[in-house]
């Protein structure tokens, strides 16, 4: 994964997400982090609990379709127990070494 995703903040986010590690995930985010899903602003805590942690969310980093913006944007398969697998895009805004915002959605 690190060969394609080179931004340390994004790597911390993805690693924590795939490990289901809530504490490490929160530590990868700024205190005021925000996010959107398919262009709609979402409550970060509610969304991540529902779409990631309670449903065993997983980003397939072995099959990244594309990586851009220094590793801050990529397309790959995201899967969870609720929706199954789907092709998704991810874009991250990094501030002070942490994720300040991420945007995701179907690709």
Domains and CATH numbers, the chain: 8-106 (3.10.450.50)
Write down the pTM of the prediction. 0.94
Per-residue pLDDT of the chain (107 residues; tens, 9 = 90+): 545 888 999 999 999 999 999 999 999 999 999 999 999 999 999 999 999 999 999 999 888 999 999 999 999 999 999 999 999 999 999 999 999 999 999 99
32: left (phi over 0), alpha (psi -120 to 50) or beta: alpha
The confidence score (pLDDT) of residue 3 equals: 57
The confidence score (pLDDT) of residue 4 equals: 82
The confidence score (pLDDT) of residue 53 equals: 97
Contact indicator for 16, 25 with CB cutoff of 8 Å:
yes
């Amino acid at each position: 994964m690190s060969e394609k995703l080179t931004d340390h903040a994004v790597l911390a986010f993805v690693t924590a997400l795939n490990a289901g590690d809530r504490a490490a995930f929160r530590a990868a985010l700024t205190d005021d982090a925000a996010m959107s899903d398919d262009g709609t602003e979402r409550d970060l805590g509610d969304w991540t609990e529902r779409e990631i942690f309670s449903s065993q969310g997983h980003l397939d980093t072995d099959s990244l379709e594309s990586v851009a913006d220094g590793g801050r944007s990529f397309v790959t398969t995201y899967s969870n127990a609720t929706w199954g697998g789907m092709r998704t895009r991810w874009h991250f805004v990094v501030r002070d070494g942490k994720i300040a915002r991420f945007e995701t959605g179907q690709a």
